[in-house]
Amino acid sequence: MRFDVITLFPELFAPLLTSGITRRAYEGGLVEVQLWNPRDYALGNYRRVDDRPFGGGPGMVMLAEPLQHCLDAIRTSRNEAAEVQAPLVMFTPTGTLLNHAAVSDWSASSGAIMLCGRYEGVDQRFIDRYVDRQISLGDFILSGGEIAAMALLDAVARLQPGVLNDEGSHQFDSFNPALDGLLDCPHYTRPEIWQGQAVPEALLSGHHAHIAQWRRQQSLRLSAQLRPELIAQARSQGLLSPQDEAFLKAEVKAAAVTGAEPAA
């Protein structure tokens, strides 16, 4: 798959593409990343890529013209038939929230062109004409779309075969279907006792069924306490077993006795 990134700061992507375990995806060609600076396609001696907003107000707005020329160059480079052209994705607060399901879809796709906005934003006429999808990381504002683009690239790269040391490790990440979309359980390693805190006995038992039960219950507990909407979603899809429901019910009763916040 191939991702083309339109960014005024291509140097920001160097650590992502050359560091950590996901670099295997980029170096091995599983995920090809091409960086494009719209300043290279701007006209005039100053290669201007922004201007003041009509109507006044603070900040600057990215010009449509350099972005269009940059996009044209990318389309030419990709040499795709019109009916299979890669979508142009823009990272913006008005976009659809990025989640695991969307990342899974992108990881199985042929890629995309990603636009990283800067300043007060991008001329709306360019967005209306060329942008196919808009994505948000959440209800907060970044200085530009680069961090959002890197988040998507990293999430997609780690799902590619052969990238992680353990092929099955990502299948048990939070929000994964293997966990019915719930949060992952806590994890422990050596030593068995650290600063007076012991590893839960179930994990030391060597009894696979007990370990699996403990992990499931911890996943249910954390999801109910921190992300109750995940429990509701799993329940609506019929993914919770009678044992799951009994555990959650017991958690609510225990919370009522202790006065703690109920888990579900």
pLDDT (tens digit, 9 = 90+) per residue, 184-238? 999 999 999 999 999 999 999 999 999 999 999 999 999 999 999 999 999 999 9
Residue 36 main-chain phi, psi, to 5 deg: -130, 125
- CATH code for residues 173-258: 1.10.1270.20
Beta bridge partners of 33: 3
User: Under a CB-based contact definition with an 8 Å cutoff, are residues 92 and 62 in contact?
Assistant: no
Q: Specify the range with the lowest mean pLDDT, choosing from 51-55, 67-71, 259-263.
A: 259-263
135-171: burial string, b at 16+ Cβ within 10 Å, e else: bebeeeeeebbbebbbbbbebbbbbbeebbeeeeebe
Using one digit for the tens of pLDDT, what is the confidence trace for 105-160? 999 999 999 999 999 999 999 999 999 999 999 999 999 999 999 999 999 999 99
Annotated active-site residue 158? The verdict is yes
Kindly state the average pLDDT of the residues 4-33. Answer: 97
Annotated active-site residue 78? The verdict is no
Using one digit for the tens of pLDDT, what is the confidence trace for 228-252? 999 999 999 999 999 999 999 999 9
What is the sign of the dihedral through the CA atoms of 198, 199, 204 and 209? positive
Q: How far apart are CA 38 and CA 197, in angstroms?
A: 54
Annotated active-site residue 229? The verdict is no
Of 65, 154, 173, 184, catalytic:
173
Entry pTM: 0.90
Task: Write down the domain spans for the chain.
Answer: 2-157, 173-258
Q: Please state which CATH class domain 2-157 belongs to.
A: alpha beta
Q: Which of 135, 141, 143, 139 is nearest to 91 (CA)?
A: 135
Of 15, 93, 186, 228, catalytic:
93
Annotated active-site residue 221? The verdict is no
